[in-house]
Structure 1
Amino acid sequence: MSSVNVCFVHAPSIYDFRTRDLREGPISDVVPSTPVFEMYPVGFISMLSYLTRHGYSARISNLAVLMLSSKKFNAEAYLKGIEADIFGIDLHWLPHVHGAFEISKIIRKIHPESRILFGGFSSTYFAEDIMKSNQNVDFVMAGDFVEDQVMKLAEAVEKGKPFDTIPNLVYREGTAIRKNPRSRDPEAVSRVFIDYKTLVRNSIIYHDIKGHLPYYSWVTNPVGMTIIQRGCQFNCGFCGGSNFAYRNNYYEISPVKRNPETIALELEAVQDTINSPVFLAGDINATGEKYYTALLQAIRDRGIDLPLLTEYFVPPPEEYFRAFSRTVPDFACEISPDSSDQNIRRETGRFYTNQELEKSIQYAAENGARKFDVYFSIGLPLQTKESVTRDADYLDFMMNKYSSEKMPVYGFISPLTPFLDPGSLFYEMPEKYGFSIIAHKIMDYYNLLDRGKSWEDFLNYETKWMSKSDMVEATYQSGIRMVESGSRMGYIDSTSGKRIVNNILSYMNGETYTPQSDKSKHLTYLVKEIDWSRKHGISAFSMMIFSYSLFERIRRTITRN
């Protein structure tokens, strides 16, 4: 039985998703995850790295991936085999509240002497409410940049020290709930290091590759991740990580830019281990020319040669793409304008025109981008079913006009689901932006997920312009349109496209439909797996992962037969 100071546990969104009669919906199409949100926060890797560098033992147990992998997987039996002083359960994204609470019950039952820690943005926002509502939780680590605080907590639990000097900690003292002051350490950002070498090493040490996987399809489609900054320059109304939300709830400064040299070191660690594409979270262009020039220089200095997946909050200009492509010739882009209606877009906090967006897509193509993803949202202020139809029309137009063999353009439309982010402008000022929110306490959200059967049941909001049923109808009608567009563009073969459309129509009409037996796929998601031979280099671990993926495919084939 393995024993560690801290075991970081990631639960599925809904704990009993394998046995409950659920009608899966498009609630996770915008991340490389599934309808159970099995991708754990990248902060797990940073905290794991920090603890192990300082002599503490730690591991990751992605229960969501393990539960997706096999109907026979027994979470309780698996957890019995892990001894830990602290089980750290993330409740970063609010849709995990059901799974996180259920896992805390199981851990308390089988490990009554262990301590249970919650952390993440949603844990921070609802910290006292969680402590009052869930007696299984001993601690909440509030805020951001908590690597050092988690280590101090591990030390305090191991050595029996008091908790009152640990910054950010919310804890129990008898029947009282105590809140320690937040850290004001200016060096906190320097402790963040997303080290895939540690992740790989740990998966081998604990003989648990699958438990350490960031998401289900990582074996066949591994993508690393790093973060340019914490917090944000912008105030998109729905975002729980916006400048407004971050400063008011998680850290006093926003954004906090990370050292370009540190990011280059993280990329180097990926290159030395999984040798895969890396998603750079955060808008590099928005950090300013001085910053991104330093980052690109650091990448060149370390000889980084990886495909990079980049995201943008405003359309970058030509000079940015020119500079970026000189250092990173193999890159892809994504942007979320949210709506083709510029009035709706402005209401969400995005202040650029369709012309600026289209020019930026052209600049990306001219400078060698491999693909460009454009994401629109459903459930916005001023938005109606008719405006969503126009969004689908506009995405179809852009895909046809700007796609090429060298740079395909993919369009996506997805609802803001299942919940508006706590702390966001829309959540804090719903009347101002035309929202009606129907859940406010942590148990309200738990109950929505516990009692609901479809993603419509889970929604915590409506708008002045669209009811829940309107948003559901708009989602699937636009989904049909995007599948048809994808078929015409050759992104989906004709037979699969017709099958998906018929399935959506059956789902909408309450008729018999074919749920995905493989929970790693989704009813309407266009899975664009990256070709191993073109995008992934060879390393010892990449070969091990490749061999493991072959084993998994063979195992699943035998199981099906």
Structure 2
Amino acid sequence: MKTEVALVHAPSIYDFRTRDIKLGPISDVIPSTPVFEMYPIGFVSMLSSLIQEGYNARICNVAAMMVSSGKFDSVKYLKDVESDIFGIDLHWLPHVNGALKIARIIKDLHPNSKVLLGGFSATYFADDIMKNYEYIDFILSGDLQEKNIVKLAETLENSQGINNVPDLIHRDGSRILHNQHGKSSIDDVFLNYGVLMKNAIKYHDIKGHLPYASWLENTEAMTVIEHGCSFNCAFCGGSNFAYRNNYNDISPVYRKPEIIAEEISLVQEMLGSPVFITGDINRAGEKFYSSLFQEMKNRKIDLPLLTEFFVPPEKHYLDELGRNFPDFTVEISPESSNETIRNKNGRPYDNKSLENFIENSITAGSKKIDVYFTIGLSGQTVDDVNIDLDYSEGLMKRFTNNKEKLYTFISPLTPFIDPGSLIYEHPGDYGFTITAKTISDYFNLLENGKIWTDFLNYYTKWMNVEQIARATYESEIRMIRIRQSLGLLAGQDAEEIVKNITGYMHGDNYISNENRSSHLSYIEKDVEWSYKHKLTKESFLISLYRSYNDVKKKL
């Protein structure tokens, strides 16, 4: 079935299945694999917007299908997709290799179709891309493009001039043209998983619409409370500084509580799955979160919720959260146990506040608490990393028991310091050296690298690449031993993971799963936060389809 728009998600490295590469810890602390096969949540919103306006549109998660099957032929699949526009996300920079290679394949297969890029990284490197990659026809720059992608589809359908499509970057001969900036509204964002599921059936392409490879095994939904951010974490490409200077004039922009609640209500009705609410609800203010909680209560929301915090909230907020939603989980990223380092990198609070937050979360009834630390921060030495490990062990021993579970995680800043972030724009002020600048630099890092440290685009005056790597390996072994000592990880599993990490350290053989995308150290149950689902007609069908796939694999 022909479409006007096909939204295509590429793997981070296109030929990851055939290359001898060790992807390492670059995605240990997220559900996605090192191939980063989770497409941006904006795909769901843009799909909803296009369909609402009467256009045929679909999602093609090529990355997830490549992860799921070594036999999947991406070229054959894309050849069978007929579309006027192929929209490829280049949101986070780790996708540059896969995104540009998929774009080239699509242009060769469908020379009369238009290839469109969008996302933060596409916006940041827009002129560079348009100058050097002739098979890219358009870039939609900035954020909140739900209406503009509809406008582009309409313009091409009616053979109108494209100069009136807001935020579009295109060519006129050798000239690169930037259309006027549009006034997009956050009210245009709506994440409708019902539309996603119906569309998967319409195009007989369930796997192509999956948000990530393991979504069938543990279905989760996501909603967002804001675009942009009020904080300036120095390494983040979505920080207030980065967002306002590159993607939107205002940061953050909050969504209406009733719209967020309606999205979650649809998830409850259709999927019955846990929901990750991204963004710090507490920081949006009491008026916001009180309204959101009331809207959710009005809709009788009774799903497991994962909530994240950028700074520790007060006890009264956590108590309010627990009273309204007894099945909730919390996560926070102090980055470092050293308060000076933490503040320099954009997390303005002390350890006492962090520990009070953990205690208050337990009192309020949080089912699980995740605390994240980072290697490679400004001002951080190897000794500081070891102190972080001591602090992490103390937290886990203090707060983990038969009723409560607190997990600490530690991982390096990988693979790149985000373009547009404070460190990227002012590396000297933060003691960093950035080793790649152009889009081709980043493409080649991923194209030629053999191990995850080859991909890094930075080192600091406190830690070189080798020290970052060794600190990562030793830290993750220590974290595994801590879990083992607390009974959170079986001895056999622990030994296999330690063997894996040791293999990485010494360049020896390592344990890899069949799709060559396994995490380096953290096992899946650490990262996952809830397996509770409500039975709905759609969730029953998902279960049947999962069982069918399991049988098919065995046969």
TM-score range, shorter chain: over 0.9
Instruction: Name the structure 2 match of 1:26.
Output: 25
What are the residue-to-residue correspondences of 1:233-382 with 2, within 5 Å?
Answer: 233-382=230-379
Which structure 2 residues correspond to residues 99-248 of structure 1 after superposition, within 5 A?
99-185=98-184, 188-248=185-245
Structure 1 residue runs of 4+, over 4 Å off?
A: 529-534
Q: Distance in 2 between matches of 1:532 and 1:105?
A: 38
- List per-residue Cα deviations over 1:407-428 (Å, max 9, x = no partner): 3001110111000011000110
Aligned counterparts of 1:531 and 1:304: Cα–Cα separation in 2: 21
Q: Report the secondary structure of 1:39's partner residue.
A: coil
Partner SS state of residue 312, structure 2: coil
What does the per-residue CA deviation read over 1:328-384, in whole Å, with 9 as the maximum and x for residues that have no partner? Answer: 111001110000111110110111111100110110100110001011111101111
Shift of 1:435: 0.4
Contact kept? 1:516, 1:522, Cα under 8 Å:
no
Name structure 2 gaps, 5 residues minimum.
Answer: none
Report the counterpart of residue 422 of structure 1 in structure 2.
419
1:92 match:
91
1:295-337 CA distance string (max 9 Å, x none): 0000001111111101000011110011111111110011100
* Aligned residues of 2:312 and 2:353 also touching (Cα < 8 A): yes
For residue 406 of structure 1, report the CA deviation from its aligned partner.
3.0
Deviates more, 1:543-552 or 1:318-327: 543-552
The answer on 1:524 being equivalent to 2:521 is yes
Aligned residue type for 1:3: K
Distance 1:534 1:444 in 2: 41
Specify the code of the residue in structure 2 equivalent to 1:473.
R
Paired AA for residue 234 in structure 1: F
Counterpart selection for 2:463 from 443, 463, 466: 466
Paired residues of 2:397 and 2:486 also in contact (CA < 8 A):
yes
Q: Give the secondary structure class of the aligned counterpart of 1:172.
A: strand
Instruction: Check the 8 A contact 1:216/1:520 in 2, yes or no.
Output: no
CA deviation vs aligned residue, 1:213-235 (integer Å, no higher than 9, x gap): 10111001111000010001111
- Number of residues paired by the alignment? 555
1:33–1:520 Cα contact (<8 Å) kept = no
C-alpha displacement at 1:520, in angstroms?
Answer: 5.5
SS in 2 for 1:160: coil
**Cα gap change, 1:335 to 1:171, in 2 (>3 Å):** same
- Superposition deviation, residue 502 in structure 1: 1.8
1:24 Cα deviation from its structure 2 partner = 2.1
Secondary structure at the counterpart of residue 279 of structure 1: strand
TM-score, length-scaled by structure 1: 0.97
SS in structure 2 at match of 1:380: coil
More displaced, 172-181 or 72-81?
Answer: 172-181
1:518: how far off?
4.2
CA distance in 1, matches of 2:218, 2:462: 39
CA distance in 2, matches of 1:393, 1:292: 35
Aligned-partner Cα distance in 1 for 2:348–2:318: 20
Amino acid at match of 2:456: L
CA shift, 1:525, in A, is 1.8
The amino acid across from 1:431 in the alignment is G
1:175 Cα deviation from its structure 2 partner: 1.9
Q: Is the 8 A contact 2:28 2:520 kept in 1?
A: no
Aligned partners of 1:534 and 1:471: how far apart in 2? Answer: 34
Matched residues in 2 for 1:100 and 1:78: separation? 16
> Deviation at 1:385?
1.3
Aligned partners of 1:533 and 1:130: how far apart in 2?
A: 40
Is 1:81 the equivalent of 2:77? Answer: no
Secondary structure in structure 1 of the residue aligned to 2:489: coil
Structure 1 gap ranges (5+):
none
Distance across 2 between alignment mates of 1:556 and 1:472 = 36
**Structure 2 equivalent of residue 484 of structure 1:** 481
Q: Say if 1:522 and 1:166 are closer, same or farther in 2 by CA, change over 3 A.
A: same
In structure 1, what is the equivalent of residue 54 of structure 2? Answer: 55
Contact 1:217 1:520 in 2 (8 A): no
